[in-house]
Structure 1
């Protein structure tokens, strides 16, 4: 992430910030690419891969000793760099050499279709291949050494970066374990051997860092690598893995304004976590950049989780607050107002005054990112009673129209010293910043609305202050597939049965305004997983597994009585009878 704002990919490689795009490009190659194997001890490789999650996210480092007792591995005629095999392949893969008059040569960059990837195999000696990468750049560096590479056997003056394309799942788990450590090389080798789950058997050449020259071996190895890249589950898991590692670091940075964020990465992260398509997420992110947003939809579709995740990623760890509305809310809960405290009347600040103060403090520290106020279950409050002054402040969805009423300032000042600390801070901040902090506040409301027509019950005045975004109940089973991947105790036929079960339920119940929500499905799958883990259910008993899952789903949906409960029960029983034959019951 750190280099993205300084170094940019040249056309036609400008999409290579996206791991999915890189793998897609590699998959289009009809001929095997250059393949190089980089063997090294376990400790060196572990720290290089640790760098890919704690240092420059998504990039591993490797290098070669070109000094000391170890002889130089030849010099490239094209560049004069040591380690001729890799450097010359790098030049040939990405450039065409055009000879000019005399000995002069001109390097012409190849286009995307003509360029050839250089695939790197991360080979741990005595363990095997633990990962695969794409060599992106090569550096000759006399000034710096990678902190975790010892130089007692020579200086690591040549170093190359590799975009990590795949890591064994066991290695990924170790990299993300903050408590993992080892006493010596032998112990680390043993742990890695035990953790490797997707072993790639490759005959590695005897010498050190080298590239395959035997064409038949190159084709054989490429077939094994290609199988991984054509496994959609493995590709998605890698994209998700490096997506998760990036954002803790991102939230700690002091960035000026939302325009500094890598919006594409945030959109990708949310779409992977919540199974919404990227076009919907992009529309939502654009809306919250613009102004206040109201997320509406049936229970369990992820409105609250989406709101909080977006607030955290866009605003930072301290860039949001969450409040759950209720019927007892008054103006003093939202804006502030008079209250009886310890026998005396005081003016107490509400959540928007507190949010204003939080933004003012961020501005003092040079942080101009938006600050988010998430109001969950917005329509539980008496809108007219709680949000009257809210409407006076937020006159439209556009921040340019927002302002603090002068009457509010006068009201607070009229209480003199009988105001709480937040109110005192608000008066001080307002004298310095006026409406500037207000214009950085974004309100994200969530509202449970099964029928979108019921939305107008909250009142037209409310709707004019928000951009309305509807989250619909899913009609496909994409979310089910994602949840089932976590359920390792079930065989694929049973997983396919559950997916088919949910798909039919959603199809049959969609016209009856009953939503089989992602939240309810996820909870039912977790309950089923717990039952299987405790050996309370035979995973091979198809009928029982489906019956248990159906019962968990019903309890997760919370539809217990009334006509809706009967519709749900009748549909579940009918679909079960369609999927399970009488002999299996």
Structure 2
């Protein structure tokens, strides 16, 4: 519907466009900062609307209202304006107020929350109403018109979808819902309630919080959705070249490292190596989002594991519904997506690369990616012949791959999509006993950026700027503590795996401590919070941390 043309306003980024979306949504619900809307209709209409969230705008669904029910439409539009545009009725009554009469403020203290219900199945999902469109000329193709003409569309960011739909998104016959009656709510018609309808708010709140644990699963379901389900709706050309500034808010990364990564990605791949908690994964994801304008048609994020092998990376024989077929892997999908890019690159982020058996998973891939430079990569003929030997027993992505490959080969351009692929990988250099070895053959395909624990408090100095409620005396005590720990934890002990206070654990400790009701500059209470966030179960590391804390307390005269 809107593709890449709309971007999220700053006030709503945490709700719609960040890793904090789930928690931000739950904060609104738990505080009762929302107005409830109930959207109900035929299953056939909802099936098409939910499919739109798979094949159209990923994660967004549509619902509508008909022209015959004008009062209903007016009610919903009024609620929308009151919640999001902050209309001040008192201000409207003031005459000659030339300063404020044309002033519009976008509010975000409340949101419009929609429960999605089919008459046949019950409640199948919920989300946030983001925008409303009145359209006299076009009808949503899944809604049959007869006596009713659907002239209004509500666009909804989905936060929960019933598990049966997530598991059977391509078979609506297997969809079910929650047969749940909300007290104080009209369960039979589209309706948005007034802000002071506490019964409706409480009923929605109770139901949504009962699905709290499934919200992240729903968002992850959409984030991992594959191209094979979207190709029907994707345009032939995708723009992936936004080059926006990378959002480094909330974690510490030296600017020099960021600059090197951006320059390297212009021609080659990047490997971020270092201990946990130093920002490798966050930086990789934020980098691709900035470079692509957060267009999820332009990147894929995957986490390696010990079960990965050739089929996961390239593709291979698989069993589906009792039949043998050839199923595409990560880089066949990358080829297909990269072929549709008009401007920019397609990014593949592989987190924790050395959790996979590198030889088993990446061996054949290194034949394709023979050098660090995508401009020199090529698809081997043997792979094409292997896929063709399966005839029609191949998945949709692989069919698209063969079609694109054969078309480009006739133009002597079959390897061109590979030129637009960039790999950003991360590896963990701590506790190598539980990880696989990455040899030089694979490492040479990357520009390697090394991360390490900060030596003193350079990250902490940045973090503390955001905590205005902390006294200067408390900040100085925290700096002294962290510097002491980092210097002493850095001393080598043969029994202790390299371990220190990471920026991530430090930022988490500060966030938790700042939320405590009695955070009255008690450095010893902060120590207890920090102890819970250091991110290790290794008894040697824990014991060394505890010994250093006791030594530090004695030096400072503490108990």
Partner of residue 281, structure 1 = 258
Q: 2:404 aligns with which of 404, 429, 438?
A: 429
CA distance in 2, matches of 1:463, 1:454: 19
Partner of residue 457, structure 2 = 477
2:304 maps to 1:325: yes
Contact map agreement 1:521 1:553 (CA 8 A) in 2: yes
Partner of residue 398, structure 1 = 373
2:328 maps to 1:349: yes
Partner of residue 520, structure 1 = 505
Matches within 5 A, 1:369-448: 369-433=344-408, 434-448=414-428
Q: 2:340 aligns with which of 336, 347, 361?
A: 361
Q: Quickly say closer, same or farther: Cα 1:274–1:419, change in 2 above 3 A.
A: same
CA displacement, residues 68-123 of structure 1 (integer Å, 9 cap, x when unaligned): xxxxxxxxxxxxxxxxxxxxxxxxxxxxxxxxxxxxxxxxxxxxxxxxxxxxxxxx
Contact map agreement 2:358 2:437 (CA 8 A) in 1: no
How high is the TM-score relative to the length of structure 2?
0.54
Contact map agreement 2:253 2:279 (CA 8 A) in 1: no
Q: Quickly say closer, same or farther: Cα 1:179–1:519, change in 2 above 3 A.
A: farther
Contact map agreement 2:251 2:503 (CA 8 A) in 1: no
Partner of residue 286, structure 2 = 309
Q: How far off is 1:52 after superposition?
A: 12
Q: Quickly say closer, same or farther: Cα 1:370–1:576, change in 2 above 3 A.
A: farther
CA displacement, residues 312-367 of structure 1 (integer Å, 9 cap, x when unaligned): 111232221100100111111111000111111000001111111111222xxxx2
Secondary structure of 2:537's counterpart equals coil
CA distance in 2, matches of 1:451, 1:286: 31
CA distance in 1, matches of 2:308, 2:335: 19
Q: Quickly say closer, same or farther: Cα 1:271–1:330, change in 2 above 3 A.
A: same
Partner of residue 491, structure 2 = 511
Matches within 5 A, 1:487-506: 487-506=467-486
Aligned Cα RMSD in Å? Answer: 3.5
CA distance in 1, matches of 2:86, 2:432: 50
Secondary structure of 2:271's counterpart equals strand
Matches within 5 A, 1:84-123: none
CA displacement, residues 28-65 of structure 1 (integer Å, 9 cap, x when unaligned): xxxxxxxxxxxxxxxxxxxxxxx9999xxxxxxxxxxx
Say how many residue pairs are matched. 334
Q: How far off is 1:549 after superposition?
A: 2.0
Q: How far off is 1:403 after superposition?
A: 0.8
Partner of residue 549, structure 2 = 572
Contact map agreement 1:295 1:468 (CA 8 A) in 2: yes
Q: How far off is 1:497 after superposition?
A: 1.5
CA distance in 1, matches of 2:553, 2:238: 53
Q: Quickly say closer, same or farther: Cα 1:270–1:440, change in 2 above 3 A.
A: same
Q: How far off is 1:271 after superposition?
A: 5.1
Contact map agreement 2:354 2:436 (CA 8 A) in 1: no
Partner of residue 224, structure 1 = none
Partner of residue 529, structure 1 = 514
Q: Quickly say closer, same or farther: Cα 1:280–1:178, change in 2 above 3 A.
A: farther
Q: How far off is 1:180 after superposition?
A: 4.4
Contact map agreement 1:501 1:576 (CA 8 A) in 2: no
Partner of residue 209, structure 2 = none
CA displacement, residues 240-265 of structure 1 (integer Å, 9 cap, x when unaligned): xxxxxxxxxxxxxx99785xx65xx6
Partner of residue 31, structure 1 = none
Q: How far off is 1:485 after superposition?
A: 3.5
Contact map agreement 2:240 2:291 (CA 8 A) in 1: no
CA distance in 1, matches of 2:292, 2:552: 45
CA distance in 1, matches of 2:360, 2:391: 26
CA distance in 2, matches of 1:443, 1:281: 16
Bigger Rg over Cα: 1
CA distance in 2, matches of 1:52, 1:553: 31
Secondary structure of 2:319's counterpart equals strand
Secondary structure of 1:474's counterpart equals coil
CA distance in 2, matches of 1:455, 1:382: 8
Partner of residue 461, structure 1 = 441
Q: Gapped runs of 5+ residues in structure 1? A: 1-50, 55-176, 196-253
CA distance in 2, matches of 1:301, 1:483: 14
Contact map agreement 1:336 1:351 (CA 8 A) in 2: yes
Q: How far off is 1:415 after superposition?
A: 0.4
How high is the TM-score relative to the length of structure 1?
0.52
CA displacement, residues 352-405 of structure 1 (integer Å, 9 cap, x when unaligned): 11111111222xxxx221111000000001111111221011111111221111
Q: How far off is 1:578 after superposition?
A: 3.2
Q: How far off is 1:489 after superposition?
A: 3.9
